[in-house]
Amino acid sequence: MTKSNPNKIKAFAPATVANVACGFDVLGFAIHGLGDYVTASYSEEPGLRITSISGEEGKLPKEVEKNTAGLAVLSMLKELDEEREFGIDLEIEKKMPLGSGLGSSAASSAAAVFAVNELLGKPFSRHDLLPFAVEGELAASGTAHADNVAAALIGGFILVKTHQPPDVISLNTPDKLHCTIIHPEIEIQTKNSRKILRKQVALQKAVTQWANLGSLIAGLYTNDYDLIGRSLHDEIIEPVRAVLIPGFSEMQEAALHHGALGCSISGSGPSLFALSKSRDEAEEIGKAMGTVLKSIGLEYNLHISKINTEGASVV
């Protein structure tokens, strides 16, 4: 395999909201503005290296075999199975907080495989990159989950039918949808927030959940914002995880009171997301949720965005 031009590619992959209330482990969407950058460049020295990671206060390993993004790219290079006389260097710039529930590791994995694929002259389609990024997620969370990484790579609303090998469906994304994200400054590890979930659920609650997921998807395809709002409920996961997030119920109530179609935990938290029909509403919702956190003395970051339907991109 020979080098293609240019010899350096910088890619961005966005932060993502997984679960989306009723879609535990199967639904995700991408947002604008928050995300990670990965620069891939050729090196004289064969092999893959992570030369720098910034923005994570030294918390992430630079060893390729221990790093989510590194493992994702290794998996991709292995699939290419070609002799290379050159090496590849990765510079990772984390522009979103770790452990926020916004798919931090997924953004790095998606940006990394996207950047390297561009650097190598696109041997893979965007969709074909997904299994490699899922490999990276497997290393990060202990299980292969495609919801964040599929949304980060492909953009828009994504349904994950199966995680490994990934079978993902790009759903329709209604144009007016805006997302408010509030990130209280506490950290929850995905592994821990998964441990507290019950292994069994009542059939009746499961039926309610799949009815809601079904109607949410119908609402997305028909741009029916009311139906989307009626569907954004989670009686199974949210009640268990919400106890880890101070002020959860009050924030959810404030969001709904200010016009949110729905509001729940982003991924495994502690961030919350709320969906609404306009930027004005999204901002009002953010203010109201922030007031709740202020009242209990918690610092937070607020982010407002439309749904990102582009996914990973070259900068």
- Which residues are annotated binding-site positions for ATP? 97-107
Smallest gap from residue 196 Cβ to a second copy (A):
12
CB 184 within 8 A of CB 169: no
162 forms beta bridges with 167
The conformation of residue 263, written as its DSSP 8-state character, comes to: E
Structure tokens that stand for 293 in this block: 């956190």
Catalytic-role residue among 68, 190, 238, 281:
190
> What CA–CA distance (Å, rounded) separates 93 from 54?
5
Can you tell me the distance from the alpha carbon of 265 to that of 233, in angstroms, rounded to the nearest whole number?
11
- Answer yes or no whether residue 296 interacts with a second copy by CB under 8 A: no
The answer to the question of residue 315 lying near a second copy (CB under 8 A) is no
State the Cα–Cα distance between residues 229 and 259, nearest whole angstrom: 10
Binding region for a second copy (CB under 8 A) out of 50-58, 119-127, 166-174, 244-252: 166-174
Residue 303 and residue 290: Cα distance in Å, rounded? Answer: 11
187 flagged as catalytic: no
| Residues 126, 249: Cα–Cα separation, whole Å | 38
Which positions from 87 to 126 touch a second copy by CB under 8 A, shown as an x/- string? ----------------------------------------
Q: How far is the CB of 98 from a second copy (least distance, A)?
A: 25
Nearer to a second copy, 171 or 256 (CB): 171
CB atoms within 10 A of CB 61: 13
Contact letters (x/-) for a second copy, 204-223, by CB under 8 A?
x-xx-xxxxxxx-xx--xx-
Three-state secondary structure readout of 183-199 = EECCCCCHHHHHHCCCC
Q: What character string, x for contact with a second copy (CB under 8 A) and - otherwise, covers 13-52? A: ---------xxxxxx-------------------------
- Using CB under 8 A as the binding rule, whether residue 196 contacts a second copy is answered as no
Residues at the interface with a second copy (CB under 8 A) = 22-27, 159-162, 167, 169, 171-172, 197-204, 206-207, 209-215, 217-218, 221-222, 227, 230-231, 236
